[in-house]
Structure 1
């Protein structure tokens, strides 16, 4: 069996795995189908996440099948599953309040512990969820990243005619544009990359624009998905009085004009990952609707053995989601 392994930033290799241990009673062994490359994977690869641990196996957007199960696992062999890649203790105040996403004991696959970019891996059944039969693989693999947007959008009310601006059209930004459009909003997508803006147009009747071209306009809701200081500061200027801003991008720091936030009664929402199982379930409900257009978001599917090509494409910023295909080398 093979796995991708990151010895240190920018030094990834394809190597043979050590034999997997015997399963614990609550664990499952997964044969991977697809693994999605996301922004945090790229940040770990580049060494830009200060809390990442090396060496480690990357990967957290994972779709596969159960091929072995411990005696206390409630799923049958062959069940198609997605992985919830963030652990939680279940006992702290946050967990007991349903906020597993901010558990202080949280560990993240592919960031602080070994991820799932391997032909087979073992995980507690607590962190897997069955996929409905009518949800194709290419949409099912989007459940984890899309749950981030589902969780964020629960903080605001978006309906027909709501004006929404999305700053940054990476994977999460594209998913935010797709969901806001699906909910009936008048969406303006902004990015500095014209290739990304052309890709956004394939999601529907969506206005696209370079951030510098927007003058004097404000929006009911602004979604900051770029994770850059300039995007945050520009986005705050775009919120109408009484409006709301959702912060998804991990901007290290920025200047906040507090007096404008106060006088205009602007509400800022920080949003990190998702809560389990609700946000995953709601994400799957959206994705099961064939009228919800997310097909253009998956730009490339590349055999995992060609991982160098896949990561180069993802790092270029010129594509939507790049998937690693683990079916090309059947175990």
Structure 2
């Protein structure tokens, strides 16, 4: 079978892998349909993650169909599924508290264990979620990245007219805008890229601004999705008194205005990935709704054999989600 491999940072190639051996226990073999290229895929490709392993097969935003099952698999052949790509032990103190997203023994597909950017891959059925056959593939492939936002939004209350700032209008930022719009929030999207700001206007009545156009203390909730030092620092300043800041993006460090947090009783949340299956199931319910608007998020779907073009587009940062198409006929 064909699949992608990152031999070392910057060195990505398509190669032939041996066919997977016989399945064990609860394992399933999945024929991939779509694979979304995530920011962490780009981070591994660029060598930005100290905890990444090489060589590594990338890919964790995975939609496919089960084509073979082990004796104890939870689901049958023909089931369309998405993948939860972060393992958890279920036994450490954090897992026992229900915090499987920060399991002490977590491993992540495409980062420190082989991912799924191949025609076929094998995974424990513990980490897959069945989805309705009638759900369009273009929506289903967004379940994993959207679950990140669903998890983050659980930390705050967003209802009609809640003033929300979303800093960073990449894929996660656009998904945050999509959910906040659905909930009726009053949204301001902030980004340094005018192209991205123009793109998010398609979500409806969205205010847009460059970072230097936003005043301090204006918002009930601030979602930081850029993962940059400057945007984290800005998030702390534009949250209003009694407001909340949710940090989704990852940056090594930022200056923390402690006096402002204290005097204004700001609440700052860190949020990483999701809890499975709860956040995935909630995400699925949102995406089942015809009026839940996510169409602008995917910029292009590219045949996986054109992986160089796909990664070039994803690395450029000029687009929304870039998706690799693993269907045999190459058609959407």
Q: Normalized against structure 2, the TM-score is what?
A: 0.98
> Could you tell me how far apart the structure 1 residues matched to 2:328 and 2:309 are?
15
Matched with 1:133 is: 133
Matched with 1:273 is: 273
Map Cα deviations across residues 208-247 of structure 1 (whole Å, 9 max, x no partner).
1111112345100000000000000011100001000000
Post-superposition shift, 1:133? 2.9
Matched with 2:4 is: 4
Q: Which runs of 4+ in 1 moved over 3 A?
A: none
Matched with 2:242 is: 242
Matched with 1:73 is: 73
Matched with 1:94 is: 94
Unaligned runs of 5+ residues in structure 2 are none
Q: Normalized against structure 1, the TM-score is what?
A: 0.98
Map Cα deviations across residues 35-66 of structure 1 (whole Å, 9 max, x no partner).
00010001111111111111100000000000
> Could you tell me how far apart the structure 2 residues matched to 1:132 and 1:156 are?
29
Matched with 1:157 is: 157
SS state at 2:203 partner: coil
Two-structure CA RMSD over aligned residues (Å): 1.0
Matched with 1:46 is: 46
Map Cα deviations across residues 2-49 of structure 1 (whole Å, 9 max, x no partner).
000000001000010122111002100000000000100011111111
> Could you tell me how far apart the structure 1 residues matched to 2:83 and 2:257 are?
40
SS state at 2:126 partner: helix
SS state at 1:179 partner: helix
Residues 60, 83 of structure 2: 8 Å contact kept: yes
Post-superposition shift, 1:74? 2.3
> Could you tell me how far apart the structure 2 residues matched to 1:329 and 1:44 are?
29
Residues 134, 288 of structure 1: 8 Å contact kept: no
Number of residue pairs aligned between Structure 1 and Structure 2: 330
Map Cα deviations across residues 118-139 of structure 1 (whole Å, 9 max, x no partner).
0001001100110123321100
Post-superposition shift, 1:75? 1.2
Post-superposition shift, 1:117? 0.1
SS state at 1:306 partner: helix
Residues 168, 190 of structure 2: 8 Å contact kept: yes
Distance 1:207 1:328, change over 3 A: farther
SS state at 1:198 partner: helix
> Could you tell me how far apart the structure 2 residues matched to 1:49 and 1:288 are?
34
Map Cα deviations across residues 58-88 of structure 1 (whole Å, 9 max, x no partner).
0000000000001111212110000000000
Residues 242, 265 of structure 1: 8 Å contact kept: yes
Post-superposition shift, 1:140? 0.5
Residue 61 (structure 1) aligned with residue 61 (structure 2): yes
Residues 298, 323 of structure 2: 8 Å contact kept: yes
Matched with 2:289 is: 289
Matched with 2:312 is: 312
> Could you tell me how far apart the structure 1 residues matched to 2:251 and 2:241 are?
23
SS state at 2:283 partner: helix
> Could you tell me how far apart the structure 1 residues matched to 2:255 and 2:77 are?
52
Post-superposition shift, 1:307? 0.4
> Could you tell me how far apart the structure 2 residues matched to 1:75 and 1:237 are?
48
> Could you tell me how far apart the structure 1 residues matched to 2:214 and 2:257 are?
20
Unaligned runs of 5+ residues in structure 1 are none
Matched with 1:29 is: 29
> Could you tell me how far apart the structure 1 residues matched to 2:251 and 2:222 are?
15
Matches within 5 A, 1:257-268: 257-268=257-268
Matched with 2:212 is: 212
